[in-house]
């Protein structure tokens, strides 16, 4: 009698059925794009009909997977290649933000289309912010009119809370700054934003994401001064923004001086030396330090 265990019989030719959810779907936005473009061509310039079409299509089309394609089409009419040009081999529509009239009423209507879409499909929020950041990096690839429309739309969406001010970081891109694209775009954007809200609301949104002290980065390093910033935006009709930058500069100077003096005092600097140092400061810096400056 053998001590070896008898080998169990095995089934041959057995096939295991793969569950659909385990299969990796190939990324192919072509059919998705054709469906969206066809719907937009049918609705035309009726933005109420566009909003309804987008609302109902979300139940049939994979918005989550093809969010970037969806937003490219709504803004530019088709999928965008790197740099901002429309992809040549893709279907496109003439009914989109970039082909719409360049006026405030139309831009507000388009903002409503995006608002309704994102309220209906909350998972699109993050993808939409990423799309706007990408579009801002592509600004050099757009015409002046297209930039203006995008700036107006972005200002409206920032005002109604559909976008975070963190998207402005794309405007600090060196290529955009060097060619003067960033400050020109910022003028259109901030005019719309401030017009929809007010400078206090804008300032609060900027502070919330740490953008309040970065506005100078809209200009090249050799032009990052308050004087240049103030002249540029005041001449463009945005004195409120210039005044805000001045307040931020004063606040920054106050914090730096207070920090320096606190360090000196912690190192044992005598009260007399501390007093003498204050007396040697220009009057404006003394007022800043003593928290009595008139701003």
Helix axes 181-196, 144-159, angle to 10 degrees: 40
Asked if 192 and 152 count as a contact pair (C-beta separation under 8 A), the reply is yes
DSSP string over 125-143: HHHHHHHHHHHHHTGGGS-
Nearest Cα to Cα of residue 195 among 225, 152, 231, 166: 152
Nearest Cα to Cα of residue 212 among 150, 262, 255: 255
Residue 266: pLDDT over 90? no
Q: Which of 57-66, 118-127, 159-168, 258-267 has the lowest mean pLDDT?
A: 258-267
Q: What mean pLDDT is predicted for residues 9-38? A: 66
Nearest Cα to Cα of residue 136 among 161, 158, 105: 158
- List the structure tokens of 183: 């400050």
pTM of the model: 0.79
- Distance, in Å, from the CA atom of 243 to the CA atom of 248, rounded to the nearest integer, reads 9
Asked if 162 and 115 count as a contact pair (C-beta separation under 8 A), the reply is yes
- Distance, in Å, from the CA atom of 51 to the CA atom of 61, rounded to the nearest integer, reads 15
Residue 239 gets which letter from DSSP? H
Q: What mean pLDDT is predicted for residues 227-248? A: 93
Residue 293: pLDDT over 90? no
Phi, psi of 13 (to 5 degrees): 75, 15
Q: Could you tell me how far CA 224 lies from the centroid of its own chain? A: 22
Phi, psi of 230 (to 5 degrees): -60, -45
- List the structure tokens of 56: 């109902």
Q: What mean pLDDT is predicted for residues 24-42? A: 87
Q: What mean pLDDT is predicted for residues 271-285? A: 54
DSSP string over 66-117: THHHHHHHHHHSSPBPTTSPBPTTS---S-SGGGS-SSHHHHHHHHHHHHHH
284 — pLDDT class (breaks 50, 70, 90): very low
Q: What is the mean pLDDT of the chain?
A: 84
Q: What is the pLDDT of residues 66-117, one digit of tens each?
A: 999 999 999 999 999 999 888 876 678 999 999 999 999 999 999 999 999 9
- What b-and-e string marks burial along 78-95, b requiring 16 or more CB atoms within 10 Å of the CB? bbbeeebeeeeebbbbeb
């Amino acid at each position: 009698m053998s001590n070896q265990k008898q080998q169990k019989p095995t089934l041959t030719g057995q096939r295991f059925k793969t569950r659909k959810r385990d299969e990796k779907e190939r990324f192919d936005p072509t059919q998705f794009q054709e469906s969206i473009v066809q719907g937009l061509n049918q609705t035309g310039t009726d933005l109420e009909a566009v909003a309804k079409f987008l609302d109902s299509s979300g139940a049939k089309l994979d918005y989550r997977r093809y969010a970037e394609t969806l937003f490219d089409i709504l803004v530019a009419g088709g999928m965008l290649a790197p740099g901002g040009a429309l992809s040549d081999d893709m279907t496109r529509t003439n009914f989109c933000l970039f082909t719409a009239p360049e006026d405030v009423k139309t831009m507000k209507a388009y903002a409503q289309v995006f608002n309704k879409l994102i309220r209906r499909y909350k998972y699109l929020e993050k993808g939409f912010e990423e799309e706007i950041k990408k579009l801002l990096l592509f600004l050099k690839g757009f015409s002046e009119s297209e930039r203006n429309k995008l700036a107006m739309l972005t200002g409206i969406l920032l005002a109604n809370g559909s976008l975070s001010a963190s998207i402005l970081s794309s405007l600090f891109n060196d290529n955009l700054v060097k060619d003067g694209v960033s400050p020109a775009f910022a003028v259109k954007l901030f005019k719309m934003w401030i017009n929809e809200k007010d400078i206090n609301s804008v300032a609060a949104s900027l502070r919330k994401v740490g953008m309040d002290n970065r506005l100078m980065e809209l200009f090249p390093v050799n032009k990052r001064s308050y004087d240049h910033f103030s002249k540029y935006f005041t001449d463009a009709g945005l004195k409120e923004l210039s005044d805000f930058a001045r307040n931020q500069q004063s606040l920054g100077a106050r914090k730096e001086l207070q920090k320096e003096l606190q360090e000196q005092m912690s190192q044992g600097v005598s009260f007399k030396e501390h007093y003498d140092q204050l007396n040697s400061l220009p009057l404006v810096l003394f007022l800043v330090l003593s928290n009595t400056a008139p701003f």
